[in-house]
Amino acid sequence: MARFLSATAAATTFLASASLAFAQDVQPPADLVESGMLTYGVAATFAPYEYMVDGELTGFDIEFGLRLAEAMGLEVNPQNMEFNGLIPALQGGRLDIINSAMYINEERAEQVDFIPYMLVGNEIVVAKGNPHGIGSRDDLCGLTIAVTLGGIQERYAREDAERCAEAGEAEITVMTLPTAQDSALSVRQGRADAFFNSTPGAIIQVNELPDVFEIVGETFEATTQIGIAVPKGDEDTARAIREAIEVAVADGTYASLMEKYNLPPSVALF
């Protein structure tokens, strides 16, 4: 049965609940960073996909990664690192895959290959009471928008800034920060007027702090896929991941984890 080499409490809890050990269903990749192990990169700052609880990795991707490795008869060896370091680590041969809810875009797809497994949308999150009366992205000119550095939301915010400038409106200040949590804190402290977050992340933040934040306007850009990244041209690893996902979907793991982490059915690809 697959397990974390670090034997984190989150993994132990998950594995204990899976009382039946699954047989190997998928032939693993022939060329692994370390034999018998699925070594993956993750930036554990993006709830509900990957985040830390009491110093332990948890989230949809963490448990999903366990099941994928298990289907291949492998152990898992997660490497938690800065998001911007994930693709270089994969290209440098230090990882087998990236398992970190990575948004698929053209720039990244030129560097790695993706196996999509979910859709995501985005939300505008503001301080409770919506002091600036924001009803949509059209109301953001002249305001400060916080986003995660290098994330897809930064691109959306810069598109809005360009739109405001072209229309002769007051400019948007795009505040880039290391994590979505930092963006939320900037709004809470009044340093930013709003922040962009994925629909799942925004829902978690509002549910956890309903007296602090609220979501305004409609979900936007809900066509983005997230995927597991494999080295460019590595068909063997891509094949193994696709087949392992098929196993996880067929046995109900995918659906049960969607429900466990309160992900809306609208974002499911299967």
Q: Which domains can be identified in the chain, with CATH numbers?
A: 9-120+225-267 (3.40.190.10), 121-222 (3.40.190.10)
- Cβ atoms of 100 and 61 closer than 8 Å: yes
What is the C-alpha to C-alpha distance for residues 57 and 60, in angstroms, rounded to an integer? 10
Average pLDDT for 207-229: 91
CA angle centred on 205, ends 77 and 159, rounded to 5°: 90
Distance CA 223, CA 219 (A): 11
Q: What is the model's pLDDT at position 98?
A: 98
| pTM summary value | 0.69
5-19, 188-202, 230-244: which has the highest mean pLDDT?
A: 230-244
Q: Which residue has the higher pLDDT, 228 or 120?
A: 228
Q: What is the mean pLDDT of the chain?
A: 90
Query: Among 127-131, 174-178, 257-261, where is mean pLDDT lowest?
Result: 257-261
pLDDT, one tens digit per residue, over 14-61 is 333 333 344 578 999 999 999 999 999 999 988 889 999 999 999 999
